[in-house]
Structure 1
Amino acid sequence: MDCSGFQLFWWSIKLVGLLVALLVARGVLWLVNLLWVAPRFDPLRNLPGPDASAFHSHFCSVNDPDITPELYHEWTSKLFGKTFRYHGYGRHDYRLMSFDLRVVSHVLTSPVYQKPWQTRAYLGRLLGRGVFNMEGAEHKALRKLIGPAFTAQAVKGMSSIFLQKAEELRDRWDALVSANGSSTATFDVAHWISRTTFDIFGLSGFDYHFNALHDESEEVYSAYRRMFNISDKATHLRVLKQLYLPIVERIWPDRDDKITQQCLKTIRDCGTGLIQAKRETYMNEKSDDKDILSLLIKSNLSTEPSNRLSDTELLDQLSSFLFAGSDTTALAITWCLHILSHHPEIQSRLRAELLSSPTPDTVTSSKRNSICSVSSTSSVMQADTIDALPYLDAVVRETLRVSPPVHGTVRVATVDDLIPVSSPVVLRNGKIIHENEYIRIKKGSFVHIPVEGLNMSEEIWGPDARQFNPDRWTSLPAGATPPSFPGLANLMSFSFGRASCPGYRFALLEAKVVIATLVTQFVFSPVEGIEIGKYNSVVTRPFVRDRLDSEGFQLPLRISKHTD
């Protein structure tokens, strides 16, 4: 190598070394700022809250529905008050949590607060860019577009599907009990309810027959279940890899990555075909179909061309609706049956109300005379009858209160902000933030909305807040005032504000129809010798303690035929 070549080589080495040194220095500065500098100037630092060691996290505590009812009670009533901070990924990571409804209302209604990019990326990986992971003007426009699909009239138009599938489930269970050679059998109700709500949303959402109640081999149903089974069991490290190193999944996919991609392709291929067929039918025949996809296509075609959704965007909405409209409602019904099995007096009272309420056409058989039977009369009239039953309504709402399908949610501040409080906050230095004053929060800070905690707050619901008591809905405490949804009275299960659930009417009526159909036919009891726990993944699923790793999510119940 001549002298000039050697010098060039030497300067190249120096340049590479300098770049590496700069990167290392930048990394060290970032780490020092993250762990020591930024926390010292974080306004949440002065709030009351639990302490932790350098890298201790409170995530396991605040996200575990098995312990949070007691934990939240202790933190709010005995230690910190309504508004406090806890530690996220370590002592440096301050996160705000509040049981003050003024704080919660400000966060959920202000455009300053959005779902974190991590949440949107995780959901987007499985569901695409649906309404549940969009923000800003895009989210607002999409809410307006999908609104017609979830009006009270549109939901009632789907009630015949609810009734049909509820009766199919009833008949399957009746056959299972009879096949057992007695009037009693034990099986996993969570699995069966999930199959039912999947069928219901297939028909009401896309006019598509999954037939999951009769055969679980249908390819889209199978793909969806395999994909979310993998997601539900994902380790924390796996989720971090998917969020922060997605290139690893693309370049070196493991077995679960490959299965997920295959499932997504199956779902998208089917969905694309459904959208094209529905659009052609509407354009050629001006179809009067009432399924959600048809209503979405009509609404989409009636908007300005520049605001219309592409087929991919329409498909993303359907994937989101399928998840929210199937899994969350299935869990609400499942938890309701579980709770009723532990409260036989409430179950009997509900059954008496159902059996004493005739269908509009009043048939002769006592079984067929109950409102849970599909008759020749208008299914809308039947749905109205079911929806109006006061004790059934109270049981469903109380179930959603104490066992919400979604345990909590998170928002992130996109700019520095002042959050108003309605209850005093005693800071660590002894100073007090009084009513109508403000908490300062910096850009990038996370706010945890404890859905389950607010649903069982004694400040709102009274001293028996952690008890299942449907009668509370006939005489609500003074603190339980309606937020966005009339009559839902601080029930956080559907959230409220900009990100409230657009399909809450759909979920409530579907749950009522299925529960009414099952409770008139069967008596539910706990299975002796097992204990049911709650596991929080994207949603709160049931499992048998000490069997989660070997048997997965399930909720077995002892089911007997009801005799007059």
Structure 2
Amino acid sequence: MSFSGALWAFAVLYVVWKASALVRGRANTLAAIAGPAKEHWLTGNFHRIFKDGLQYNLHLFRRYGSVIKVHGMLGVEQLLVYDPLALQHILVKDADAFEETDMFIETNKLLFGDGLISTLGQQHRKQRKLLNPVFSLANLRAVLPRIQPIANELVDRLRSGLPQDGGAVEMDLLPWLRMGTIEYVGRGILGIDFNCLDPAKASDYVNAISTVQHVAIRALLLRPFVPWVVRHLSLYWRNMLVDWSPFPALRELREMARLMDKAARQMFLSKKAEVENAGHDPEGSTTDLMSIMIRANSSTEDNARLSEDELVGQINTFALAGQETTTSALARLLWVLAQEPPAQTRLRSEVREAKITHARAIGMNESEWQRVSLPYDVLIGLPYLDAVVRETLRLYPSTNMMYRVATKDATLPLHRPIRSSTGEELSTVYVPKGTNVIISILGANRNTHVWGPDANEWRPERWLAPASESDNAENRAPRDLDFGDESVMSATLGPDASSESKNVRYPGVFGSMMTFLGGSRACLGFKFAEMEIKQILATLISTMHFDLPSAVDGQGERKEVYWRIDGLQVPVVRPPHGDLRTAQAPFDIRLVKDEDFLL
């Protein structure tokens, strides 16, 4: 064994030994909570839950209920939770007692800097206080016309590869959707044109931000060791450890982090100079959200102002968060609509009607309706588009789980009692300090006691009930919530934990579902994401028809898309046409015909 290999082996064994001592000291602290047996001494159940674990997670929900004991790395006992009352306490009422894990914070800080996903406590609250108004509806309305051309350009790129006679062509849409969402972040949030949709102009920064998550997955099992390394080793020795590492992914991540930091600083300085040159002239002020953030930061009090490092960190945070989950959501939406032709036809017809109506209002020729850009309120308010997007994001959240760690002993009340490991009924769960808690977004979004017996079915009609009926329908969600609106969240769930299930709502900011989380660490840009998803989908569906791949190979088999869960839901292709690892989203695409609309 080489010296570097021996050093790495020693370092890993030392950290494992220290962690094992911690595990032994905390053994059986969750003995009363039922759950599956530990399957592996190193990975526990972690590999089953996190790595391609849709069916395994659904099995756990059915067997154990809304609070489940599972085993993480080295067999550490953890809680997997999706009970609505428990999540309200974790995310809202007792949020200070359930923080992001050190692993999450330190890894994000190394990769992306001091942005929202890398900070805790007062620093995080200060950042959100400045950034919340940036994503106001007024600002989103102003940004929308700036980003509509991106969707049009995406359509033009795809149309150029389609025959004009209406024939279908198989295309992998995933690269196009990914580049489109990065461009949305660039122009809409950062005020920068990345030219992502022109393959010849792709930058190193775009390549890094679009692949960093996939590289990080390859180093997933090393993430638990990151906090210890950061706390105990200097930058010099951390770099030496990476240089000597037998894991190439670590060196790739280091180079990506350096590249992203350098590029983000250049973007920030350029945007800052642009804002300063524009001065206070409203006509000279740009409307991208980064410019709004810089102006707001410069005009705030010194003790509330963000540092340059924090502002630079937001650039990488927005670029990452704004494209991975949105790309997955768009691919999933098209995949669902390809399997639901009546829904695709109904959606396309609704969009056409809205565009024709708006064309008349602005004096535009109705025959050019496909190029009409819908105003923000019209786009967001289309009922069936809204229902399709919400139902897909509910049933297929791009991210299935998030972690928290108990910073002190806590007791979680439950909306519905669970059975303990000995068969007793538990209405509360004691959570010792240091316990990792997995917030199951998937479990919350498919909870039959909240969404109804058809919670595992894709049924957009659940969002279309008349207002007079929605208050009495158990599978209807309330309005979207504002950040930090704890009184609304509490009232939504109901003050009485024993109230009827039909009155229970999760503390999510988007339609009561947990896709964008809730509380003080909810997704800040969820309204931007909603606007982007609806605009891209409405533009694509107006012009093109989507089917699943239809070509048959020599054995009579078609290409089959499979959704793998590795932190994100990622579309891959099953063998023999794919390797179940390479992300791709093939569709049969053709130009729309008259028959693709409702009569």
Normalization by structure 2: what TM-score? 0.81
**If you compute each CA radius of gyration, which structure gives the higher value, 1 or 2?**
1
Q: Which residue of 1 aligns with 2:401?
A: 408
- Alignment of 1:193 with 2:183, yes or no, is no
- Alignment of 1:527 with 2:527, yes or no, is no
Q: d(CA) in 2 for partners of 1:33 and 1:407? A: 28
- For residues 14-62 of structure 1, the C-alpha deviation after alignment (integer angstroms, 9 at most, x for no partner) is xxxxxxxxxx999979745623x5213x1x2111222235726212232
Equivalent position to 1:294, from 291, 295, 320: 291
- The one-letter code sitting in structure 2 at the alignment partner of 1:38 is R
Q: d(CA) in 1 for partners of 2:131 and 2:425? A: 45
Matches within 5 A, 1:17-56: 31=20, 34-35=23-24, 37-40=25-28, 42=29, 44-52=30-38, 55=41
CA shift in 2, pair 1:33/1:175, >3 Å: closer
Secondary structure at the residue paired with 2:68?
strand
Instruction: Say if 2:297 and 2:305, in contact at 8 Å, map to a contact too.
Output: yes
Instruction: Say if 2:102 and 2:227, in contact at 8 Å, map to a contact too.
Output: no
Secondary structure at the residue paired with 2:438?
strand
CA shift in 2, pair 1:58/1:28, >3 Å: closer
- The offset of 1:383, in angstroms, is 2.5
Q: Which residue of 1 aligns with 2:530?
A: 508
Instruction: Say if 2:80 and 2:439, in contact at 8 Å, map to a contact too.
Output: yes
- The offset of 1:149, in angstroms, is 1.5
- The offset of 1:341, in angstroms, is 0.5
- The one-letter code sitting in structure 2 at the alignment partner of 1:171 is D
CA shift in 2, pair 1:33/1:217, >3 Å: closer
Q: Relative to structure 2, which stretch is displaced further, 246-255 or 144-153? A: 246-255
Equivalent position to 1:464, from 427, 450, 454: 454
Q: d(CA) in 2 for partners of 1:28 and 1:148? A: 47
- The offset of 1:306, in angstroms, is 3.2
Q: Which residue of 2 aligns with 1:305?
A: 302
Q: Which residue of 1 aligns with 2:91?
A: 108
- The offset of 1:461, in angstroms, is 1.2
Instruction: Say if 1:534 and 1:543, in contact at 8 Å, map to a contact too.
Output: yes
- The offset of 1:251, in angstroms, is 4.2
- For residues 80-108 of structure 1, the C-alpha deviation after alignment (integer angstroms, 9 at most, x for no partner) is 232221222355x2211223100011111
Q: Which residue of 2 aligns with 1:224?
A: 209
Q: Relative to structure 2, which stretch is displaced further, 546-555 or 337-346? A: 546-555
- The offset of 1:121, in angstroms, is 1.9
- For residues 274-308 of structure 1, the C-alpha deviation after alignment (integer angstroms, 9 at most, x for no partner) is 22233233334324211121111111112222332
Secondary structure at the residue paired with 2:433?
coil
Q: Which residue of 1 aligns with 2:50?
A: 63
- The one-letter code sitting in structure 2 at the alignment partner of 1:553 is A
- The offset of 1:184, in angstroms, is 1.5
Q: d(CA) in 1 for partners of 2:39 and 2:117? A: 35
CA shift in 2, pair 1:548/1:483, >3 Å: farther
Secondary structure at the residue paired with 1:280?
helix
CA shift in 2, pair 1:349/1:275, >3 Å: same
Instruction: Say if 1:355 and 1:369, in contact at 8 Å, map to a contact too.
Output: yes
Instruction: Say if 1:524 and 1:557, in contact at 8 Å, map to a contact too.
Output: yes
Q: Which residue of 2 aligns with 1:169?
A: 154
Q: d(CA) in 1 for partners of 2:254 and 2:527? A: 33
- Say how many residue pairs are matched: 522
- Alignment of 1:96 with 2:79, yes or no, is yes
Instruction: Say if 1:87 and 1:95, in contact at 8 Å, map to a contact too.
Output: yes
Q: d(CA) in 1 for partners of 2:267 and 2:367? A: 39
Secondary structure at the residue paired with 1:281?
helix
Q: Which residue of 1 aligns with 2:590?
A: 560
- Alignment of 1:349 with 2:346, yes or no, is yes
- Alignment of 1:383 with 2:406, yes or no, is no
Q: d(CA) in 2 for partners of 1:533 and 1:189? A: 15
- The one-letter code sitting in structure 2 at the alignment partner of 1:552 is T
Equivalent position to 1:87, from 48, 59, 71: 71
Q: d(CA) in 2 for partners of 1:481 and 1:387? A: 17
Equivalent position to 2:565, from 525, 536, 539: 536
Q: d(CA) in 1 for partners of 2:106 and 2:222? A: 14
Equivalent position to 2:443, from 440, 453, 469: 453
Q: d(CA) in 1 for partners of 2:168 and 2:15? A: 67
Q: d(CA) in 1 for partners of 2:294 and 2:14? A: 54
Instruction: Say if 2:78 and 2:435, in contact at 8 Å, map to a contact too.
Output: yes
Q: d(CA) in 2 for partners of 1:75 and 1:313? A: 40
Secondary structure at the residue paired with 2:415?
coil
Q: Which residue of 1 aligns with 2:259?
A: 266
Q: d(CA) in 1 for partners of 2:46 and 2:345? A: 39
- The one-letter code sitting in structure 1 at the alignment partner of 2:91 is L
Matches within 5 A, 1:137-176: 137-176=122-161
Q: Which residue of 2 aligns with 1:17?
A: none
Q: Which residue of 2 aligns with 1:13?
A: none
- The offset of 1:154, in angstroms, is 0.8
Secondary structure at the residue paired with 2:323?
helix
Q: d(CA) in 2 for partners of 1:382 and 1:465? A: 33
- The one-letter code sitting in structure 2 at the alignment partner of 1:369 is W
Q: d(CA) in 2 for partners of 1:278 and 1:521? A: 35
Q: d(CA) in 2 for partners of 1:64 and 1:367? A: 49
- The offset of 1:492, in angstroms, is 0.8
> RMSD of the alignment, in Å?
2.8
Q: d(CA) in 1 for partners of 2:533 and 2:366? A: 23
- The one-letter code sitting in structure 2 at the alignment partner of 1:451 is I
Matches within 5 A, 1:249-260: 249-252=241-244, 255-260=248-253
- The offset of 1:75, in angstroms, is 3.3
- For structure 2, which runs of at least 5 residues remain unmatched after alignment? 1-12, 231-237, 483-508, 551-557, 595-599
- The one-letter code sitting in structure 2 at the alignment partner of 1:407 is N
Secondary structure at the residue paired with 2:515?
helix
Q: Which residue of 2 aligns with 1:21?
A: none
Matches within 5 A, 1:312-327: 312-327=309-324
Normalization by structure 1: what TM-score? 0.85
CA shift in 2, pair 1:484/1:133, >3 Å: farther
CA shift in 2, pair 1:120/1:545, >3 Å: farther
- For residues 134-190 of structure 1, the C-alpha deviation after alignment (integer angstroms, 9 at most, x for no partner) is 2211111110011121001111111113311101011111101139x8631111111
Q: Which residue of 2 aligns with 1:377?
A: none
The sequence identity of aligned pairs, in percent, is: 24
Q: d(CA) in 2 for partners of 1:314 and 1:296? A: 9
- The one-letter code sitting in structure 2 at the alignment partner of 1:104 is L
- The one-letter code sitting in structure 1 at the alignment partner of 2:474 is A
Instruction: Say if 2:358 and 2:372, in contact at 8 Å, map to a contact too.
Output: no
- The offset of 1:484, in angstroms, is 6.3
Instruction: Say if 2:34 and 2:420, in contact at 8 Å, map to a contact too.
Output: yes
Q: Relative to structure 2, which stretch is displaced further, 389-398 or 481-490? A: 481-490
Secondary structure at the residue paired with 1:148?
helix
Q: Which residue of 2 aligns with 1:418?
A: 411
